[in-house]
């Protein structure tokens, strides 16, 4: 039997007016720390990837850091994230597990997935990243299942599905938004719109202009945002979470992917997009923008300290990952099924 929330309907929230409540300095610094970590970890990947020791495809997050940091910080320990293959920033923002992250990229036993998952399957359920899937759209219905269970068990967890504008080309997306709305499931959809599925623009894939309008017609509370201000995204998510007991929320967030679809380089010479668009977004780079804000607040020495700590941790994690051991082939199937015994 389906179960529907009995909460009284709250008046629609004007998401344009985000919470006016000022953020604490601690929160501003956390938001910056998470973005700086994601950016510098990926710059390190760029440096090292050419050595061909990381045997995993890389779908880089650069440009997306404000979404990952804003959403994950607002969720905190309540997070139950179902993510995609483009998940470096989401994983690092949720867990700040630099060691497990790099060891996983190097395919080592000490990696967050025991070296079996690589870049596209980063996960740490204990820290709220339930799984990341390389199969576009497949994480979305899993978030619905989790939301259903969370409501049933009243465990205060919040199920979140991250996905790109390519995932809405999949039938499972439409089935999921229909069911989540019908059952008023407390699930947060984070639609990360970079305008492309690999190289194909949304205009060649979608018969509608604005997904937010379409999703609204399914009865959704929709938040639209275009930009890279991590504090604004954090505030939007924080105010949205208060509305989840009314049913699912769809965050439509625009961002710009800085690098090629898969790989660690720029691809503006490929001809499918215009570098001017990149430059427009890059002028408002999320990491730089937040750093500038903190500098204006007189926090230079704290920023420098925080940055140095992260850079040291990244260097240490990479050196460690290089010398760590590869997984034992005998453990190949261990962990595939829940009760499987180690062979």
Ligand X SMILES: Cc1ncc(C[n+]2csc(CCOP(=O)(O)OP(=O)(O)O)c2C)c(N)n1
CB of 321 to ligand X, least distance (A): 25
Min CB(172)–ligand X separation in Å: 9
Q: Give min distance, CB of 98 to ligand X, in A.
A: 22
Residue 137 or 286 having the CB closest to ligand X: 137
> What residue ranges bind ligand X (CB under 6 A)?
86, 134-137, 163-167, 194, 196-198, 261
Question: H or E element: which one contains 235?
Answer: helix 230-241
Nearer to ligand X, 18 or 61 (CB): 61
Which residue, 158 or 259, has its beta carbon nearer to ligand X?
259
Measured from the CB atom, is 139 or 181 closer to ligand X?
139
Question: Least distance from C-beta 72 to ligand X, angstroms?
Answer: 17
The minimum distance between CB 134 and ligand X, in angstroms, equals 6
Instruction: Report the C-alpha gap between 160 and 75 in whole angstroms.
Output: 9
Sign (positive or negative) of CA dihedral 147, 149, 154, 157: negative
Shortest reach from residue 164's CB to ligand X, in Å: 3
E-strand stretches of the chain = 79-84, 129-133, 158-164, 187-193, 196-197, 200-201, 221-226, 249-254
Residues 343, 326: Cα–Cα separation, whole Å: 17
Contacts of 305 (CB under 8 A, 6+ apart): none
State phi, psi for 249 to the nearest 5 degrees: -125, 140
Instruction: Please identify, using beta-carbon distances, which residue of 176 and 239 lies nearer to ligand X.
Output: 176
Largest CA distance in the chain: 58
Q: What are phi and psi of 88, to 5 degrees?
A: -55, -50
Q: Which residues pair with 190 in a beta bridge?
A: 162, 251
CB closer to ligand X out of 100 and 137: 137
249-254 and 187-193 as β-strands: parallel, antiparallel, unpaired?
parallel
């Amino acid at each position: 039997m389906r179960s529907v929330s009995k909460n009284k309907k709250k008046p629609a929230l004007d998401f344009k007016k985000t919470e006016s409540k000022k953020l604490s300095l601690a929160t501003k610094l956390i938001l910056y720390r998470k973005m700086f970590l994601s950016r510098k970890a990926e710059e390190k990947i760029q440096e090292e990837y050419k050595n061909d020791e990381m045997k995993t495809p890389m779908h880089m997050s650069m440009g997306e850091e404000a979404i990952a940091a804003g959403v994950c910080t607002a969720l905190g320990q309540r997070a139950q994230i179902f993510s995609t293959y483009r998940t470096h920033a989401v994983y690092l923002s949720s867990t700040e597990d630099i060691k497990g992250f790099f060891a996983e990229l190097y395919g080592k036993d000490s990696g967050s997935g025991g070296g079996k998952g690589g870049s596209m399957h980063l996960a740490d359920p204990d820290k709220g990243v339930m799984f990341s899937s390389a199969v576009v759209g497949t994480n979305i219905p899993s978030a619905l299942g989790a939301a259903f269970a969370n409501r049933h068990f009243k465990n205060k967890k919040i199920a979140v599905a991250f996905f790109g504008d390519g995932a809405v080309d999949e039938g499972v997306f439409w089935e999921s938004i229909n069911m989540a709305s019908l059952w008023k499931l407390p699930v947060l959809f984070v639609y990360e719109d970079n305008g492309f599925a690999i190289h194909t623009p949304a205009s060649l894939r979608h018969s509608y202009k604005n997904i937010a309008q379409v999703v609204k017609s399914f009865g959704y509370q929709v938040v639209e945002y275009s930009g890279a201000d991590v504090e604004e995204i954090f505030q939007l998510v924080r105010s949205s979470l208060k509305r989840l007991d009314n049913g699912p929320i769809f965050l439509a967030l625009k961002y710009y992917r800085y690098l090629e679809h898969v790989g660690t380089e720029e691809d503006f010479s490929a001809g499918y997009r215009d570098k001017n668009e990149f430059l427009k977004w890059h002028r408002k780079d999320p990491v730089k923008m937040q750093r500038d804000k903190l500098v204006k607040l007189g926090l230079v020495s704290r920023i420098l300290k925080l940055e140095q700590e992260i850079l040291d941790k990244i260097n240490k994690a990479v050196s460690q990952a290089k010398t760590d051991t590869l997984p034992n082939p005998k453990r190949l199937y261990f962990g595939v099924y829940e009760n499987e015994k180690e062979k």
